[in-house]
Amino acid sequence: MKKTIFSLSLLSAALIAATPAWADPAKVIRIGVASVGTGGRPVVGGSSAGTAALRGLLEEEFKKDGVKVEWHYFKGAGPAVNEALANKLLDFAWQGDLPAIVGKAGGLKTKILLANGTLGTTYLAVPADSPVKKLEDLKGKKVALFKGTNGQLVVNKVLDQYGLTEKDFKLINMDTATTDAAMATKDVDGAWYSANVFTLVDRGVARIVWSNKEGPLSLTRQTHFLVTEDFEKANPEFTQRVVNVLVKTSADISKPENADKVLQEWAKSGTPYASYKRDYGGGADIKRRSSPLLDEFFYNHYRDAVQASLKFKFIRKDFDVNQWFEPKYVNQALKEQKLENFWTAYDAKGNPKGGK
């Protein structure tokens, strides 16, 4: 019996010793990013969050407090971020509209703080030597799509406009890296892409047959920066400071004279400078797409996205977008940095609302 007690005591001691010292939430800020760079590198472009990470701006901001900033780049994109949020492994996240909507409808307690990459592009590409000329030619064929990401919502809206649904294609769920490989080996007849499509186009691997570049704004994809309700309640000051840094970064990358430098920084993600340049209209679109404003367009887009998600059965439960957005932090940051009129606010239809 003595031996048993001794053994159990030893094991208990081992358990206690082995238990990791959990980071005090106030001492660590954990940020999830729903994207990775080419080849699985922890670098992304296309947003002020990406630039802030590249330049170590949040680390610098919290250095004096002894607060560590951890960036987590998820190969599984938005769905993997949701999984981490559900398991309480993140405080903030950079994510697209659809996965965040699915998470919110499923009970994730999050608050959207600011827009962080708007009017995202979507491209439908086919192998370069494919006879396919237009979207409809791919009916019944194998098309790759990273399901659960904000691309899926755009694709469903686009198909809806053509009177088509996902079931009209053999849609295969593939992540970005797998899609690139499948396109090169022609395992798929087509694939839906974002700006990274140009890396394949430039190599002569793929050809674009459809894009939302000239289409209505309702067919663009939006990304945002969110916080968990738990973290926000416990650390409102830290939340404000995170938003401050992101707004300041957005302003910096929005200046035309910085465009070239910004695109070159983003190219560290592995998506070439030339691809970003083409996707961002030579750099001219950076300011519009980097606006952090939670304007009427952004609100309306998310309301529409929730309704579209219900229609396409991505979610089962409606919820109020007004309650989900928390604009006070971004408004405060804009006021403090005197940037209230720096970006143009857009109305629900995407038209400039006075100002610039």
Residues in contact with another protein by the rule CB under 8 A: 3-4, 7-8, 11, 14-15, 18-20, 36-37, 40-42, 72-76, 78-84, 86-87, 89, 98-99, 102-103, 106-108, 142, 147-148, 152, 170-173, 187, 314-315
How far, in Å, are 144, 174, 311 from residue 170 at the CA level?
8, 12, 20
Q: How far is the CB of 8 from another protein (least distance, A)?
A: 7
Q: How far is the CB of 344 from another protein (least distance, A)?
A: 27
Residue of 54, 121, 152, 146 lying closest to 289 (CA atoms)? 121
**84/159 with CB nearer another protein:** 84
CB 69 within 8 A of CB 242: no
Distance (Å, whole) CA 11 – CA 3: 12
* SS3 at position 342: coil
Q: How far is the CB of 2 from another protein (least distance, A)?
A: 11
Distance (Å, whole) CA 113 – CA 135: 36
Q: How far is the CB of 300 from another protein (least distance, A)?
A: 22
Q: How far is the CB of 282 from another protein (least distance, A)?
A: 9
Q: How far is the CB of 125 from another protein (least distance, A)?
A: 18
Distance (Å, whole) CA 252 – CA 258: 7
Distance (Å, whole) CA 80 – CA 78: 5
Handedness of CA 127, 128, 129, 135 (dihedral sign): positive
Q: How far is the CB of 90 from another protein (least distance, A)?
A: 9
**37/120 with CB nearer another protein:** 37
Q: How far is the CB of 145 from another protein (least distance, A)?
A: 10
**284/355 with CB nearer another protein:** 284
Other beta carbons within 10 Å of 89: 12
Q: How far is the CB of 346 from another protein (least distance, A)?
A: 28
**70/160 with CB nearer another protein:** 70
State the DSSP string of 138-152: GTTSEEEE-TTSHHH
Distance (Å, whole) CA 270 – CA 126: 21
State the DSSP string of 165-178: -GGGSEEEE--HHH
**41/233 with CB nearer another protein:** 41
**307/341 with CB nearer another protein:** 307
Q: CA 276 from chain center: how many Å?
A: 16
**13/234 with CB nearer another protein:** 13
* SS3 at position 46: coil
How far, in Å, are 22, 67, 177, 278 from residue 148 at the CA level?
31, 32, 16, 26
**238/314 with CB nearer another protein:** 314
**167/356 with CB nearer another protein:** 167
| Unique residue bearing structure tokens 């959207």 | 112
Residue of 78, 125, 70, 132 lying closest to 103 (CA atoms)? 78
> Which residue type does 94 have?
W
